[in-house]
A and B are shown apart, each in its own frame.
Chain A
């Protein structure tokens, strides 16, 4: 494996490691892998790398056209006691190298396979992930046999425990909970704003009793000639057989630029669309 490493070559002088490290880290480690991580009761995150040796193997078994004809998917298995119970497929762009996967059911144990679905329905496995457990996100139905309290009392205790609000904190609340972050932002040579400016408001306080939680994400979609070459944010993407494409983006506060460029098969015509999206949470 070491021959495939993209580690920095042995430095002639350690000074290269002195400040900042390399401009960027290599995305390729030369290892086929698929890693799954839990985010919350409904969402998990998968990232992957498919190394050349895996492509060689797959092409050997399924033919050279497999990469073009197969539709890349994440096959998401719900497990029960270690056995695969059911699954659903999510179409992905292989080049995206990572995907946030939504599950309509909360919690559960999950394992994901990255693969290609061939026109005849066969599934070509590229990589298989670790197994994770998603949080339940709700009060358990299971009661202790030796329950200590009457129902009404338990509900009161639950409310006093913060039951109506749990898991619905805002980022502001998170910062209040972890005040060191307010502290850290007061001193930073890497942060543009100067403390003392009016925008440095005190943390917004949490409201009582009533709550709202909301977030938004972004879906970009489009279509072009099926044999065109398309890049989104400079990354190559793989079109669906009919020339359509769609991608999901996280949408943090701030400005997000999404340039999309399509070049025809002959490379002599191109079209571009650029989105500039500003999110401002208030």
Chain B
């Protein structure tokens, strides 16, 4: 019988995009966030996991698929738009295979690779009738994947004042998860990994048993953690928290060893959208005709050289490098596990947490790296095994109890990214909306008809305004105008509904308009905002 492993690797991918859906425009640029992520990240990850499962490779992965992302991936309008996009991309890839026949071997090899990838995306998308979540769910049901939830709209919990507002972010997420995955979630990725005391109790009340903290969330906990971030802790509220491992974060990103910057990997910024003849690429650009990334790129990182001096990319060479990086990563995990096992006297768990969108989109070879890594873990050694937090806790239920440090994974480790001079203006509005939502829920214990619809829509508008994405984008100055616009829009829509409900003058066309546009959480129930003493017992 095989020896038990010396340590465990818990790989966590956080998949999230803010809810962006604009039926009022035939062609909306920010919707591309989703479309590119499907083609470049979600489908390749899914494909990778399905292949491993088919080959009988033992692996465990944990992945958060946030409620906004689940809702977008289940939205008919967005999915039909995605399918159209994919058709265009396929058309271009086919033309590219023709065009590169006369060019050097690398270009042609790369063009064929894109065509294969896009066809694969099409096959998967068609086979599941445009519902790729069903395929993720199947992987979870088969025991390979642990899908966890997140705040309903990725709302930043520590900066919410009303308990009911936090509670609603969690409850709605749990309900929505059940709708998509057929069972309640066991774990949660706290939005921005942001913890504040009391949240743990709320998680537990909603049936959630584990979550994650940035390393200092555990290291600065009280009392001192016995095993640093290499063993989970239980919070006083009864939730197991796993700490983020910094070494594996650095290994992927450090100056000396960072994998994605390897000179053989694909260069992100040389895209046919900029490189090829304008009339040739024009049909594949947005309606405004501005040159942008399309998603077909022929060059490799090459070195510290200008974009114009990049050399052709070779998929087969990049694949070899991904394999060797996976070997290097595993070697380091083995050493880490052996050392920690010796010191701790119990098998450590190393939690490597990454944004899912890193793999495939930014780091094009990321999914291949993961596939090599998981295969090597399965076939080549016995020191390290992959696990999920749930599985680890089942095997090692006795852990230290400590009060975690309020923290986040943002700059400087606390709340400043979401609370500074560029975005602090949003909180007076968000807080007043939360307060009024609670008042509305308390004063309407059993609304029906139009009033009920208006109340449910008010909840949606509040939730959409609360996305931490908007505050973050204001801080970093990216898409700031869009983020400001979205915040104002949802706040004013909420206030409009609030006013109409209170005045008993609800306009149905207004409600219907908002239901069509801000259609996240079709089954939301405004009662989740009722104050605790009034709320019905949650089943």
Contact = CB atoms under 8 A, between A and B. Distances in A.
Contacts of B274: 196
A236 interface: no
Contacts, number: 313
A35 B499 contact: no
B247 interface: yes
A95 interface: no
A194 B292 contact: yes
Interface size class of A (residues with CB under 8 A): 35 or more
A3 to B, nearest CB: 10
The secondary structure that dominates the A interface is: loop
B273 to A, nearest CB: 8
A19 B24 contact: yes
A98 B485 CA distance: 22
A183 B366 CA distance: 14
Nearest to A135: B406
B278 interface: no
A47 B427 contact: yes
Contacts of A21: 485, 488-493
B224 A184 contact: no
Contact of A8 (B479, B492, B513): B492
Contact of A180 (B17, B258, B495): B17
Given A169-B411, A171-B411, A205 B254 contact: yes
Nearest to A253: B477
A25 B488 contact: yes
A157 B228 contact: yes
A31 interface: yes
Nearest to B255: A205
Interface of B: 14, 16-17, 24, 29-30, 32-33, 36-37, 158-159, 161, 192, 196-197, 214-216, 218-224, 226-230, 243, 245-247, 249-250, 253-256, 258, 261, 268-271, 274, 291-293, 306-307, 336, 340, 343-345, 354-355, 357-358, 361-362, 400, 402, 405-407, 409-417, 419-422, 424, 427-429, 431-432, 472-473, 475-482, 485, 488-493, 495-496, 498-500, 502-503, 505, 507, 509-510, 513-514
Q: What 8 A-B pairs have minimum CB-CB distances, sorted nearest first?
A: A250-B421, A162-B246, A167-B413, A161-B228, A166-B216, A7-B499, A21-B488, A179-B355
21 contacts: A11-B510, A35-B431, A47-B427, A130-B161, A133-B197, A136-B220, A137-B405, A140-B220, A143-B224, A148-B226, A160-B228, A161-B229, A166-B219, A180-B355, A181-B472, A185-B476, A187-B29, A189-B30, A189-B482, A190-B480, A252-B421
Given A144-B226, A208-B256, 5 more contacts: A5-B499, A35-B428, A162-B215, A205-B250, A208-B250
